[in-house]
Amino acid sequence: MRCWRVNLRQKFSLYLNGELSQSEVKRVEDHLLDCASCRARFAQLRSGHRMAQQIPRFTPERDPWASIEASLNAETNTEPTPMSEPPPIVRGRRFAIKPGFALAVIGVVALIAASLIASGKLAPGQERTGSLIADALDLSEFRTVKIADMERNRQPHVVAEGYVSEVRVNGEDGDLSFKLVDDPRGAGPFIICEIIDPIKLTPPSVGSLVRVYGVSRYDGQVDHNWYEVHPVLNIEVMRR
């Protein structure tokens, strides 16, 4: 017969890991004396606990410190993006920016572009929008979707065309995102496009017509829900 003392059963792993107070330990042990069902469950968890204690730890074969240091040295002239307190586990974020902040974001984007030009990675007048990943992508595998039809899409890799209406820097993790719309003048269907690594992928300018390649995703949260291209893998600028 299944025991109804759910609150005590929940404490079994805590007991096994020594994280219960003395009084709680006694409660668990007293109950185990009386309940065959819980004894069986506890025995199972104890066996699992012993196996889990043997889970191996690994050390990386290559220590990437040299690469990290080289990247840090290369970034010395780039303005760091400020981050706030612990980033939440990947969830959606409220997408609302104030006009003054939007101008600041555009300024940061321009600064990044200027740095790229100064470093020789981007020639003046040239718009490098694709990432290094784009060179390795087979773009023919991306399914073309209209922004308004995104909710009917079931394919993981998509390409969507639209106007960039907002560009935002996420204050928590420094990632860039922009809104893709059919009509830049008014409200309507939109897709949020997330650039995971802004150093390697130049974000498009507000008002430009772009084609965005990436992974389709639905981000449904309590405070918002929308369709995304996340992460963006390539951007083609059709018209600035």
Partner 1 sequence: MLMSIREKQPDSDERELVDAARREDRGAFKALYDRYRDRVYNLAFYWLGEALWAEDVLQIVFMKVYRGLPGFRHEASLSTWIYRIALNECQNQLQRRGAKHVPLDAILGSDEEFDPGMLPDAEQVDRERRHILRNAVMDLSPKLRGVVVLKYVEGLSYDEIAQVLECAPGTVASRLNRALAELETRLHPLRRIL
Query: Could you list the residues that contact partner 1 (CB under 8 A)?
Result: 9-14, 16-17, 19, 41, 44-45, 47-49, 51-65, 67-69, 71-72, 80-90, 156, 171, 173-174, 196-197, 215, 217, 230-231, 233
Type of residue found at 159: V
Q: Which is nearer to partner 1, 50 or 240 (CB)?
A: 50
Please identify which residue in the block is written with the tokens 């981000």.
Answer: 219
**Inter-helix orientation angle 22-34/36-52, to 10°:** 120
Place of tokens 């939109």: 190
Q: Which is nearer to partner 1, 32 or 209 (CB)?
A: 32
Phi, psi of 69 (to 5 degrees): -65, -40
- Cβ contacts of 61 within 8 Å, gap of 6 or more: none
| In the complex, minimum distance from the CB of residue 209 to partner 1, in angstroms, rounded to a whole number | 25
The residue (of 67 and 225) whose beta carbon lies closer to partner 1 is 67
Q: Of the two residues 165 and 202, which places its CB atom closer to partner 1 in the complex?
A: 202
CB of 97 to partner 1, least distance (A): 18
Cβ atoms of 108 and 169 within 8 Å: the answer is yes
The answer to whether 117 touches 123, Cβ cutoff 8 Å, is: yes
Could you tell me the smallest distance in angstroms from the CB atom of residue 221 to partner 1? 13
**Least distance from C-beta 172 to partner 1, angstroms?**
9
Q: Would you say 87 or 184 has its CB closer to partner 1?
A: 87
Q: Give the side-chain half-sphere CA count within 13 A for 132.
A: 6
Amino acid at 194: E
Q: Work out how close the CB of 239 gets to partner 1 at its nearest, in angstroms, rounded to a whole number.
A: 28
Instruction: List the alpha helices (DSSP H) in the chain.
Output: 6-9, 12-16, 22-34, 36-52, 65-74, 99-118
Least distance in angstroms from the C-beta of 68 to partner 1: 5
When the beta carbons of 40 and 148 are compared against partner 1, the nearer one is 40
